Amino acid sequence: MHMKTILPLLLTIMIAISACSGRRNLVYFSDLDLKSDKWKNITDNGEPVILKNDVLSISVNTSSSESNMIFASAQSAEMVNGVYEKQGYRVNGEGNIKFPFLGEVTLEGLTLSQAQDQLERQLINYAKHPIVNMKFMNFRVTVIGEVNHPSTFLVPNEKINLLEALGLAGDMTAYGKRENVLLIREVNNVRTMTRINLNSQDVLNSPYFYLKQNDVIYVEPDKAKSYEVSKSTKMMPFVIAGLSAIAIFGATLISR
């Protein structure tokens, strides 16, 4: 085959290889219309509810120092890394906790504020002016896949949305498929898997925009990443370099 025929063929192969992954949309909510009110009228459903196996930190303050001591000593503690930490109140399989004076109290399905109000109403028969404060001790979310810092994150304020979780993980890499993020959620031993398109503004109104305790976010890599790490393509940079050298050499011969 004549060099004048080989050279265009080599150049065509190189261009095809470099363009095989195509262009991808890396912009979040790229279809967002700022003139529309659709994205502004968002119902705040971010307050989580108490689920089975949740661990709750519950403190009670009353006008009686004796009662305060009883409630303070009710939460047992264990040694963790040389420091005693409170274990909290675990919600059992029936959705209840065992609380001083009250015995079994059903909290499953309630928000923290609702659970606090319920305990205060029940404790008023046993303590003077009870004030209950409650928080989750096991509110965690996990972000894995094509992000810069995959990890499990403890959420101290019990409220986090999908974008904040990705921010904790250092955001997606350029290989992360923003149009196909997988959210894994388990409630009462029922696991659901939902695909979320972060290129679309509709996610702002999605029930999955705010995360729940123990949610797992998996950012899938695109085909370009799979192609890059494939064993069969590890030598591709050398192949491309070789083709480039041949093309340059051929061009030099032709110009003579």
CATH number, domain containing residue 180: 3.10.560.10
Contact 250, 6 (CB under 8 A): yes
92 domain-assigned: yes
Q: What's the CA gap between 68 and 97, in Å, rounded?
A: 19
Clarify whether residues 183 and 230 are in a common domain: no
Clarify whether residues 149 and 108 are in a common domain: no
How far is C-alpha 124 from the chain's CA centre? 40
50 domain-assigned: no
Contact 54, 136 (CB under 8 A): yes
- What does the pLDDT read at residue 84? 39
31 domain-assigned: no
Question: What single-letter DSSP state applies at residue 72?
Answer: H
The CATH number of whichever domain residue 81 belongs to comes to 3.30.1950.10
Clarify whether residues 163 and 192 are in a common domain: yes
Contact 217, 53 (CB under 8 A): no
Q: Which of 136, 153, 183 is the last residue of a domain?
A: 136
How far is C-alpha 100 from the chain's CA centre? 36
187 domain-assigned: yes
Clarify whether residues 158 and 118 are in a common domain: no
Task: Identify the residue whose tokens are 């509709």.
Answer: 202
Q: What's the CA gap between 108 and 191, in Å, rounded?
A: 18
Clarify whether residues 243 and 191 are in a common domain: no
Report the chain's C-alpha Rg in angstroms: 29
Clarify whether residues 251 and 229 are in a common domain: yes
Parts of the chain with a pLDDT under 70: 1-46, 74-86, 224-256
- What does the pLDDT read at residue 39? 46
Range of the domain at 108: 55-136
Clarify whether residues 208 and 187 are in a common domain: yes
How far is C-alpha 45 from the chain's CA centre? 17
Q: Which of 117, 136, 155 is the last residue of a domain?
A: 136
- What does the pLDDT read at residue 189? 78
Query: Would you state the structure tokens that stand for residue 181, as one six-digit string?
Result: 């993020």
- Neighbour-count burial of 172, counting CB atoms closer than 10 A to its CB (0-12 exposed, 13-18 middle, 19+ buried): buried
Q: What's the CA gap between 38 and 29, in Å, rounded?
A: 13
Clarify whether residues 182 and 248 are in a common domain: no
Clarify whether residues 185 and 203 are in a common domain: yes
Contact 201, 239 (CB under 8 A): no
**Is residue 191 helix, strand or coil?**
strand
17 domain-assigned: yes
105 domain-assigned: yes
Clarify whether residues 145 and 197 are in a common domain: yes
Task: Note the pTM of the prediction, 2 decimals.
Answer: 0.68
Q: Which of 136, 162, 180 is the last residue of a domain?
A: 136
Clarify whether residues 145 and 132 are in a common domain: no
Q: What's the CA gap between 66 and 79, in Å, rounded?
A: 26
Question: What single-letter DSSP state applies at residue 161?
Answer: B
- What does the pLDDT read at residue 139? 92
- How many distinct structural domains can be found in the chain? 3
Give the other-Cβ count within 10 Å of 144's Cβ.
15
28 domain-assigned: no
15 domain-assigned: yes
